Structure 1
Amino acid sequence: MHSKQALLRDFVADCGEDAGISDPDAMVQTDRTMVQDPTMAGSVAVNSPAAQVETVIDLDAIAHNVRVLREYAGDAGVMAVVKGDGYNHGAAQVGRAALAAGAVELGVTTITEALDLRAAGIDAPILSWLNAVDADYTAAVAAGIELGVSSVWQLRAIEQAARATGVTATVALKVDTGLNRNGVSDMEYPQVLALLRELVDERAVRFRAIFSHLAHADTPQHPGNDRQRDRLLDAIAQAKEFGLEPELAHLANSAAALARPDLTFDMVRPGIAMYGLSPLEETNFGLRPAMTFQAQVVLVKRVAEGEGVSYGHEWVAPRDTTVALIPAGYADGVFRPLGGRISVRIGERDYPSVGRVCMDQLVVDLGDDATGVAEGDTAVLFGGGPGQTHPQRWADLLGTIHYEIVCSPRGRVVRRYVGGGACS
C-alpha cells in the first residue's frame, strides 16, 4: 500500500484547494477506490475482501451531475446539499467531489453534520438550517458555520454563542413563504429583523442570506411556486426597510434549478439531482445515478419441482430449477414487500426474486440458465448502469419516491467509492 502521507500530498496538490480541503489527514485515496471507515470522518483505503453487500458510489457521476446543474444555474452559484450523510452516499466524499466540480458551498440540516464536514477537512462555506434548542451553536460559530435562523429564540442562541466565542456569527434568514415547516413566520419576522439589525450593528452577527424552500417544485408550473417567489421578494424588501441587505438569496431546489430558471436568484440548492436521480419524471436531464446497491451470490443450489422457497413457501418451484441466494434483506435496506416483485441483475441477465425477503437474504430463480452464475458473482439490486434496475422501479412498487430508496441501504452494507470525481 502506498504511504498515507504521499497519497495525501498528491491529492491535495491536485485538487485539495478546489475541493475545499484544508486538512489532508482527513482522507486517503488509493487506486481511486475508497472504503468508508466508521472511526474516521473521511475515508480510508484498505486491502480487504469484497463486501457481501455494498453500495458503490461513483464520484465521477457526482461531478458530472454538478456540472449539469451548473449549466442550468447560469450565473447563480450551486450549493451542494449533503444532508443525511449525503443522501446516504457519504457527505464528506460527495462534498469534496461536488466542490471540485464547481459547487461553491455545501448545505446540511444539523450543526453536527456541518461539524463532521469541518472535521473531514472541508473549509468551504457550509450552511446548517435545522437545529434544536440545545444544539451546539458555540461550536458552530467557532467553526465558521453559517446558521439558518427561523425564530427569535434561535437568533438569541446564536447571539450568545457569538459573544461566548468572540467570533462574529454568520446567519441566513430562513423565511416561511408557504411550505409551513421550518422558517420565520410572518408574525415573528419583524421581531427577527429588529433583533438582527441590533446584532449586525454590534458586529456580533454577519447577515449573509435570505432563503426559503418550495412546496410544489416537483410541479414546476404550479402557481404556488410563483407565490413563494413573490413572498421571498417581499421578505427581502422588508429586510431592506431595516437597513439589512442580504448578500445572497436562494429558493430553488433540484426541481426548480432544472425547470424554473426564473427562481434561481443568486444560488440554487440541488439535493437529489446531484446524486443522479431526476426530481421530475418526464426527463432525467442527462443525470447519472451515483449509487449501485449490490451483493455477492453466496450460494447456488438446485430446488426440485414442488418444493417451496423461503418463509411461508409463498413461492413453490413450478419445475426443477436452480436458485441463487443473495445475502441482503430488510436489515440491509431491501424492503420486505419487494419479495417476488423485483429482479436482480447477475452478469447480463435479470433474474426474478422468489419468495419472501428475509432479514438477511433473498432468493432469485435462475431457471434453466444457471450455468453462467456462480458463488461470488455480483448481483445488482439497483443502480444506474445499462440494464440495471433503476431506484425509481423500487419506488413505484412501494408507492414512495426514489429519495427513500437510496437512503435505505444500511446496517451491514459497506460503502465503497470509485472514480476520482472532478479530480480524475
Structure 2
Amino acid sequence: MAHAEREGLACGRLTIDLEALADNWRSLAERTQQTECGAAIKGDGYGTGLEKAAATLSRAGCRTLFTAVPDEGLRARSAAPESRVFVLAGLLPGAAEAYRKGGLIPVLNCPDEVIEWAEYCAAAGQRLPAAIHLDTGMNRMGLSLEEARLIAAAKDVVARFDLVLVMSHLVCGGDPANPLNARQLERFHEMTALFPGVPRSLANSPGIFLGADYHFDVARPGISLYGGRAMDDGENPMRPVVTAEARVLITHSAAKGETVGYGAVETLRRDSRIAIVGIGYADGYHRLAGAGGGHKPANAWVNGHVVPLVGRVSMDLIALDVTDVPEADCSRGDWVEMFGPHIPVDDVAAKAGTIGYELLTGLGSRYTRTYIGGS
C-alpha cells in the first residue's frame, strides 16, 4: 500500500524531522567543543526509529552511539557501520561471541561481567573493546568504589581486553543547584583515577548543559537530540523533532451541564462544540493528560488555535473543546497537533505527570510515519 493511501486510512500520524535531529546533534557538539559528542539512540531512537536516527546522526558526523540492549546495537551497526556502538545493558551471560561477531562494545556493569569478558578475550586471543560503568551515586548499574578498586588492582584481568571508556551517569543533572551533581563529579574523578589514561564519559544531555567540568572525553546526549527538555527550568534550545497528530473524526455540540467521556469527570460549563480525534492511550498518549487528574488538561493545536482536552483520554479517542474555533478551522478529517512545534512534548508530559522521554519512547504502532529532511 502506498504511503499516501496508508495515511488516508490512518487516525494518527507522526512527522519526524531528521534535519532537526542532525541540527540538534551539531548544536550539542558545538557546546561540547573538544569533547567528542556521541548519541544515545536507545528506545528505538527515542521513538523516531533507531535505524533512521543512527544513519542521520552518522551523516551529521557522530561516530559513537549508545544503545540499551544488544538487538538495538546490531541494528545500529547495520545502519551506521562506521560508528562505535556501546551496549549499556552490559554483557549478557554467555553472549560474548555474539557481541564480537556483531562488533558491539559491552558496557561492563559488575565484576562478573568484567571477568567474563576478560576470559572470553583471553580464549579468543583478542583484546576486544569494552567500557566500564562506575556507580557514582545512581545505585542502579556500575561498579561500586570498592569493586572498582579491586578490578583496577587486578591488572592481569583488565589487560586482557581493550578498555576504551570509563563512564558514569548523573542522577540530578537537570537541576544545576542540586549538590549531588558536585558529589558525583568528585566521586567520578576519584574512581576514574583508578584507570589512568582511559577516556571518560559522564555527561548525558543535562550534563552537557552543566558545563565543561562535566564533559570529559565523550558526551552522550539523548533527550536533547530529539527535541526534549534536558534541564528542569529555563528555555529549551533544541528544535522539536517529532510531531504527533490526530485526525478529527467528528464534531458535535454538547449542552452546558453535560459530561464528556468516561467517569463523567468533567462537566461542561457552557454550551460547547466538541471534536473527537482518533488517538488515545493505545497510541502512547497518556491517559492522565486528560481531565480527572486534579489539574488542567493538556492542550492541542488545530489550524492556528490552541484547544484544551476535555474529559478523560480513552484507548482510541480524545475529546477536544473547540467551541472557540471557527467551524471552518476544525472539521471532520482535519489534523490536530497533539505535540510538536506548537505544543511542546514536555508540556503534554507535565500534564500527565511524566516526562517527554516516556511520551516519545511509548509512541504506538498505529501511526503512519513521514520522515522529512533526511538525505
TM norm structure 1: 0.79
Secondary structure, in 3 states, of the residue corresponding to 2:239? coil
CA shift, 1:200, in A, is: 5.5
Match of 2:216 among 245, 251, 265: 265
| Secondary structure, counterpart of 1:234 in structure 2 | helix
Equivalences for residues 237-252 of structure 1 within 5 A = 237-240=193-196, 245-246=197-198, 248-252=199-203
Alpha carbons 2:77, 2:103 under 8 Å: kept: no
CA change 1:158–1:333 in 2 (3 A) is same
Residues 220 and 256, structure 1, Cα contact 8 Å, conserved in 2: no
Cα 1:135–1:252 change in 2 (3 A) is farther
Contact 1:81 1:269 in 2 (8 A): yes
Alpha-carbon spacing, 1:142–1:371, altered in 2? closer, same or farther (3 Å): same
Give the deviation of 1:75 after TM superposition.
0.4
1:373 aligns with 2:330: yes
CA distance in structure 1 between the partners assigned to 2:13 and 2:24 by the alignment:
22
Distance in 1 between the 2:177 and 2:264 partners?
49
Give 1:361's aligned residue. 317
Contact 2:175 2:232 (C-alpha < 8 Å) held by counterparts: no
| Distance (whole Å) between structure 2 residues aligned to residue 140 and residue 264 of structure 1 | 28
Any residues of structure 2 matched to 1:27-46 within 5 Å, and which?
Answer: 46=3
**What is the deviation of 1:289?**
1.6
Q: Secondary structure at the match of 1:48?
A: helix
- SS of the residue corresponding to residue 282 of structure 2 reads coil
Matches of 2:115 and 2:230, distance apart in 1: 36
Matches within 5 A, 1:171-190: 171-190=130-149
- Map of 1:42 onto structure 2: none
In the alignment, structure 1 residue 212 sits paired with structure 2 residue 171? no
Aligned equivalent of 1:224, options 162, 169, 180:
180
Q: What is the CA distance between 1:391 and its match in structure 2? A: 1.8
Residue 294 of structure 2 corresponds to which residue in structure 1? Answer: none
Check the 8 A contact 2:65/2:83 in 1, yes or no: yes
Alpha-carbon RMSD: 2.5
2:98 corresponds to 1:139: yes
Of residues 74, 86, 89 in structure 1, which corresponds to 2:33?
Answer: 74
2:289–2:349 Cα contact (<8 Å) kept:
no
Query: 1:317-356 residue pairs with structure 2 within 5 A?
Result: 321-340=272-291, 341-356=297-312
Matched, 1:97 2:56: yes
Structure 1 residue 117: Cα displacement? 1.4
Q: Distance in 2 between matches of 1:381 and 1:166?
A: 54
Structure 2 SS opposite 1:292:
strand
Contact 2:132 2:167 in 1 (8 A): yes
Instruction: Specify whether residues 389 and 148 from structure 1 end up closer, same or farther in structure 2 by C-alpha distance, changes over 3 A only.
Output: same
Q: Is the Cα contact below 8 Å between 1:111 and 1:137 reproduced in 2?
A: no
User: Residue type matched to 1:213 in 2?
Assistant: H
Report how far residue 288 of structure 1 moved: 0.8
Identity of aligned residues (%): 30
Aligned equivalents of 2:106 and 2:91: distance in 1? Answer: 12
Structure 2: tracts of 5 or more residues without a match: 292-296
Aligned partner of 1:35 in structure 2 is: none
CA positional deviation for 1:264: 0.8
Q: Residue type of the partner of 2:175?
A: T
Give the whole-Å Cα distance in 2 for the aligned partners of 1:234 and 1:126. 27
Q: 1:135 to 1:94 in 2, by over 3 A?
A: farther
Cα offsets for 1:5-59 (capped at 9, x unmatched):
xxxxxxxxxxxxxxxxxxxxxxxxxxxxxxxxxxxxxxxx845331321222111
2:358 is aligned to 404
> Aligned AA for 1:419?
G
Query: Equivalents in 1 of 2:203, 2:343: separation in Å?
Result: 29
Distance 1:200 1:396 in 2: 44
Question: Do the aligned partners of 1:138 and 1:158 also contact (CA within 8 Å) in 2?
Answer: no
Residue range with higher mean Cα deviation, 164-173 or 106-115 = 164-173
Separation of aligned partners in 2, 1:366 and 1:297:
11
The residue that corresponds to 1:65 in the other structure is: 24
Which has the higher mean CA deviation after the structures are superposed, 181-190 or 263-272?
181-190
Q: How many residue pairs end up in the alignment? A: 367
Amino acid at match of 2:352: L
3-state SS of 2:312 partner: coil
Distance 2:351 2:94 in 1: 38
1:391 is the counterpart of 2:350: no
Deviations 1:192-250 (A, max 9, x none): 2244x32554xx4111111111222122243332332232222232224xxxx31x111
